[in-house]
Amino acid sequence: MPQGAGTQQPLKRPRTRGAGLEAYPDRLLEILPKLALFRGVNPKDFPKILRDFEWLSIPGGWTLMSKGEEGQSLYVITAGSVGMWVEGADGADRMAAQFVPGQTVGELAMLSGERRIGTLIALRDTELLRLSAEGFHELTARYPVILENLAKLLSKRLHEVMRGERNIEEWRSVPKTIAVVPVAEAGIELEIGERLGLALAAMGGRVRLLDHQSKDQSSEWFYNVETHHEHVIYLADQAHDGWTKLCLRQADRILLVGHASSAPPVEHPLAHAGSHSSRGFIELALLHGGGAAKADGAATWESAIGADYLHNIRHGNEADMKRMARHLSGRAVGLVLAGGGARGFAHIGVIRALREAGVPIDHTGGTSIGGIVAAGVACGWSAQELEERMHESFVKTNPLGRLTFPSISLFTGGRIQKLLQRNFGDLCIEELWLPYFCVISNLTTGHEIVQRRGRLWRALRASVAIPGIAPPVVKDGEVLVDGAVMNNFPADVMAEMRRGCVIGVDVETHRAFTGLTKGWEDNPPWGILGEEARGGPNIISLLMRAGTVNSEAQTKASREHADLLFEPPVQDIAIRDWGEFRRVVDAGYAHASEKLNEIDLARFTG
């Protein structure tokens, strides 16, 4: 790894294949026996095996291998981390995997002879052991068990992909090293760094803060510090440019910090920090006044920074700091709420039970009415306020509004829009106290939209626009409707963030309602028209159900992503039976309370 605080270094080969053991750090001999790749190898043979490898050190942001290259080497990561970028359906690159010390990369392309399918980039200063294809064949000839181990590892990885599972060690993106970088105001990094360190330490981890006084330490010193601590916080310093660049190269995660009351920078704060800033995870922590009602200024800051994640922190509010610490340590609790009309009132009862059990809610998301309730949680509403607002909006007021000539919908949609504006005003999603998203269906493109920015009421207006019931929202020439059409229970969206565990509440059932007519053989086609009077479905219920039934397969798949799933017994509630508010809320509360009493909550409260 680079010494001191110099600028980005070129690829270095400090130790070449066949070098004497004195040329390698002792810790490399400690790493090899722990790798699954070398399971079954005699421990006495590791000094000889190590000589077959070439020891490399690359700075953060360096491209280890590019898409389309021929695979000629296998790499073992011994320090740092490497991300793999692949091209998504939209043509943009996205990070598909993160590899950490002890894992191997490049082996598949080396064995198959095929060109590499992705680009591997060091997320931070990284050390690796390189083994050429020729060296690998020589090594496996001497130790056939290594080839057998590699085949098992690749087979396991393939099966996990086929089953839709994720290898926790490979896909998890929990940062060990965090660079806290001030934006504009000097000294803010110390305040945030110390508070973050205390919050992480309170969770049971060993934490070390490093400032510019460590700039002349060797790579071995940094390695030892990181080895003996769960988290190392690097405090960047505007007065020490070389140290700041070293912090960025050492960081698994970059946390930019600033005061929301200040104007955001005209130029991105990492514009001249090197290539790492374009590939690493960048999060933004904004400090607000202790009594702030909303996170004013967050939307402007987020637009200027373009961070991967936003944390709004109130001055003196330790709950906010603990929440950010859980996010940065992979222990955040995400709450996902499904759509389901009046059945969604059960979400309110579940939330009350979670809060009484001491389960924190660190970020929320949902679809349709689930998106509305989740937004209330993200606003910081108490359980009582949430219940009162939902009762006022959906029970005392008919949310569907007045009927209209059914050219595109049965109802005008004006009343639901006013209800959303009354409750959320001009709030932007970025200005909520909790990170939040809602799901919208784009009928023009046939894809779901995960809305994380912009006016909250506008996003929710689209997310609840059930086709045929309420008019769609048209934005940039595209037709947007209820997210339930494509993804009624977006637990998969929450899980993809890899921030921690996922709690889901699914209020849908496999049988939304039944018809009373025996069959078409003995009844005229118009016989169903009389069913509403006898308790059967009417046209509104039919349209609501038809608009969401196609996402059932998606919902079943999404349920697998929930670490804790609540299914309140509300199957007898019609999806527009707003008058059953109290019974549905109580059903959700009773169901959640019973289930929470039966499980170990340590995973969700630690």
Residues catalogued as catalytic: 368, 482
Task: Report the C-alpha gap between 361 and 502 in whole angstroms.
Answer: 10
Residue 285 dihedral angles phi and psi, to the nearest 5°: -110, 120
Q: Is residue 230 within 8 Å of residue 205, measured between CB atoms?
A: yes
Structure tokens at 516: 């009373």
Task: Report the C-alpha gap between 77 and 99 in whole angstroms.
Answer: 8
Nearest Cα to Cα of residue 57 among 42, 39, 75 = 75
Q: Which residues, other chains included, contact 242 with Cβ-Cβ below 8 Å and sequence gap of 6+? A: 4, 5, 6, 7, 215
Q: Is residue 282 within 8 Å of residue 305, measured between CB atoms?
A: yes
Task: Report the C-alpha gap between 61 and 73 in whole angstroms.
Answer: 20
- By DSSP bridging, strand 207-210 and strand 231-235 are parallel
Give me the residues paired with residue 121 across strands: 63, 83
At residue 80's C-alpha, the angle toward residues 75 and 81, to 5°, is: 70
Annotate 130-197 with DSSP letters as a single string.
EEEHHHHHHHHHH-HHHHHHHHHHHHHHHHHHHTT---HHHH----SEEEEEESSSTTHHHHHHHHHH
Cβ neighbours around 278 below 10 Å, total: 12
